[in-house]
């Protein structure tokens, strides 16, 4: 059965001054799949995520949601069921784990529903239940990243956008984060788009991938096709013009 296409970026262009951060980029996100955005530093991966979510103004191109053109604005994207977790484990360190999750549920009108969702995400992240009354600044880096992802789930999204979720984490914690992302995808049938530098681990859980270089998509396909491609190697070794 063909999966529904949830979101598309078509011919997306983003300029920062004279820098062309994105040049004619096409990205498609179908229901229930994990999509990887890969490429070297400065390739445009994070910019693509921000363009989709409305954090990077596009100079050309369009975003389609259920095949209808939209002007992406962060608060409206959240209401549509799209959640963005930025890089850098951005949690409110002076607030408790539970308070961080409550902030994640800001768009949910019912107080009882917020409580239910907190319990739901704590079932996914048992370590957060153990620390629910602790200030999030006291958590380890890995626990803070789990909290950032859990907070993104509080709006019960259909699409989760993750920007460098394992940045600065130890290898053992990286493995745990990827396992948790895979679990979220499978248990909730949630589409996940991940910008990530840890290529091997990412290809182990992704269904499809886009390889970007200098603001352009230079390769797209299933993970095995990407894994075996010389293009991927050339991009990361700086051999591609």
**Given a cut of 70, is residue 241 above it in pLDDT?**
no
Q: What pLDDT score does 240 carry?
A: 53
List C-alpha distances in Å: 237 to 83, 176, 186, 240.
Answer: 32, 28, 33, 8
pTM here? 0.92
Contact between residue 233 and residue 58 where contact means Cβ atoms under 8 Å apart: no
- Across the range 198-208, mean pLDDT stands at 90
Considering the chain, what percentage of its residues have pLDDT values greater than 90? 68
| Structure confidence at residue 89 as a pLDDT band (50, 70, 90) | confident
Where do the structural domains in the chain lie, given as residue ranges? 5-236
Q: What pLDDT score does 41 carry?
A: 87
List C-alpha distances in Å: 224 to 107, 142, 203, 205.
Answer: 39, 29, 8, 11
**Given a cut of 60, is residue 160 above it in pLDDT?**
yes
- Across the range 150-163, mean pLDDT stands at 94
Fold of 5-236: Rossmann fold (3.40.50)
DSSP conformation letters of 90-157: ---TTSBHHHHHHHHTTT---HHHHHHHHHHHHHH-HHHHHTTTSBGGGS-HHHHHHHHHHHHHTT--
- For residue 66, the SS3 value is coil
| Structure confidence at residue 19 as a pLDDT band (50, 70, 90) | confident
Q: What pLDDT score does 25 carry?
A: 97
Structural tokens at position 148: 């950032």
CA–CA distance, 56 with 111 (Å, rounded to integer): 32
- Across the range 162-182, mean pLDDT stands at 90
Q: What pLDDT score does 82 carry?
A: 95
CA–CA distance, 55 with 47 (Å, rounded to integer): 8
Q: What pLDDT score does 169 carry?
A: 85
- Across the range 28-42, mean pLDDT stands at 94
Q: What pLDDT score does 119 carry?
A: 94
CA–CA distance, 12 with 10 (Å, rounded to integer): 5
- Across the range 101-111, mean pLDDT stands at 87
CA–CA distance, 145 with 87 (Å, rounded to integer): 9
């Amino acid at each position: 059965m063909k999966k529904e296409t949830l979101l598309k970026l078509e011919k997306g262009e983003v300029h920062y001054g004279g820098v062309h951060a994105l040049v004619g980029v096409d990205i498609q996100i179908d229901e229930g799949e994990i999509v990887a955005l890969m490429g070297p530093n400065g390739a445009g991966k994070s910019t693509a995520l921000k363009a989709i979510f409305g954090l990077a103004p596009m100079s050309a191109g369009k975003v389609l949601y259920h095949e209808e053109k939209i002007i992406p604005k962060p608060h409206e994207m959240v209401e549509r069921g799209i959640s963005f977790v930025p890089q850098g484990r951005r949690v409110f360190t002076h607030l408790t784990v539970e308070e961080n999750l409550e902030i994640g549920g800001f768009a949910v009108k019912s107080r009882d529903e917020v409580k239910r969702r907190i319990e739901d995400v704590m079932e996914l992240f048992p370590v957060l239940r153990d620390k629910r009354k602790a200030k999030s600044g006291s958590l380890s880096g890995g626990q803070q990243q789990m909290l950032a992802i859990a907070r993104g789930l509080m709006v019960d999204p259909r699409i989760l956008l993750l920007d460098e979720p394992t940045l600065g984490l130890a290898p053992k914690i990286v493995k745990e984060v990827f396992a948790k992302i895979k679990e979220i995808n499978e248990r909730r049938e949630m589409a996940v788009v991940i910008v990530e530098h840890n290529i091997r681990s990412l290809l182990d859980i992704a269904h499809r991938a886009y390889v970007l270089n200098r603001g352009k998509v230079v390769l797209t396909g299933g993970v095995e096709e990407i894994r075996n491609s010389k293009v991927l190697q050339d991009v990361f070794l700086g051999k591609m013009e």
